[in-house]
Amino acid sequence: MLVVFHMLFWFLLTLILYVIFRRLYQLLPYPFMIPVLTCTVFLVFILTSFDLSYDVYFSGGQWIDALLGPAIVALAFPLYQQRKLISKYKVEILATVLTSSILGILTGYWLALMSGYNELITSTIISKNVTTPVAMEVARMTGGEPAIAVIFVMIAGIGGAVTGPWLFNIIGISNFLGIGMALGGASHAIGTAKALEYGEEEAAVSSVGLGLCALCVSVLGPIILTWIS
C-alpha cells in the first residue's frame, strides 16, 4: 500500500507542478521559464533537499515517461494537416535534416573529445539531437550508455527550446521553415513543443525534422563514429 502511495504521490506532484509552472510561463513568457525546465529544476531541488534517489521519484514518474511514445505519435496530427506544405519544401527539408544530423553528431563528439571525456561519453553524446527512445538505442549501438544519453537529450532539448527564440531574434530568422527545422532538428520533442507556440506550420515542420533526424542519426551515427574514432 505504501508503494502505491509513493507512486501516486510523485505522479500527482509532477502533474501539479507542471500545471503551476505552465501557468507561470503564460504570465511570464520568457524562454528560460518554459515548464519543462522550471518543473525539472524544482523536482531536482526536492530530491536533493531530502536526499532522495531518482529511483524513488521514478516509481511514479515512470507513468509520465510511458506517455513519451504516444506524445511523439500525436505530433503526426499537425504533420498531416500541413502535408501539402511539407511536400512543397521537401528538398529544403531533406537537405537541412542531413546537415543537421551530421553536424549534431560531429559537434557533440568533438566537444566531448576536447573536454577530455572518455570513450563512453564520446560514444554516447553523438545521440544528443534525437528524441529519447531513439537516443537510447543509438547509444547502445555505438557502445555508449543509454542512461547518460537521456541526460544529453534533456540538455539539448531544453537548451534549444530556451536559447532558440533568442537566437532567432539575433540572427533574424522569422520563416516558419527555419524555425521549425531548427527546433525539431536540434531539440527534438521539447523543441517541437516550443515550435507549436509559434504555429501549426512550425510544429509540422519541426515534427518532420524530429522524425527524419532520428532516422538519419540512427543510420549515420555508428558509421561516422567508426570513421572518426
User: Cell 537516443 identifies what position?
Assistant: 135
Tell me which DSSP letter residue 142 carries.
T
DSSP letters for 83-94: HHHHHHTHHHHH
Per-residue confidence (pLDDT) for residue 2, from 0 to 100: 63
Per the CB < 8 A criterion, the answer to whether 161 and 186 are in contact is no
Helices 2-27 and 54-65 cross at an angle (nearest 10°) of 70
Q: Can you give the length of the chain in residues?
A: 229
Give pLDDT tens digits along the chain (229 positions): 666 777 888 888 999 999 999 999 989 888 788 888 898 889 889 989 988 887 788 777 777 777 777 776 776 676 677 778 778 888 988 898 899 899 989 988 998 889 888 888 988 998 888 888 788 888 888 888 888 888 898 889 889 888 998 999 999 989 999 999 999 888 888 888 889 889 888 888 888 888 888 888 988 988 988 888 7
d(CA 134, CA 157): 14
Sequence ranges of the domains in the chain: 2-66, 73-228
d(CA 196, CA 35): 14
Cell of 170: 539575433
Q: Which residues contact 125 (CB under 8 A, 6 or more apart)?
A: 108, 109, 111, 112, 117, 144, 149, 152
The whole model's pTM is what? Answer: 0.80
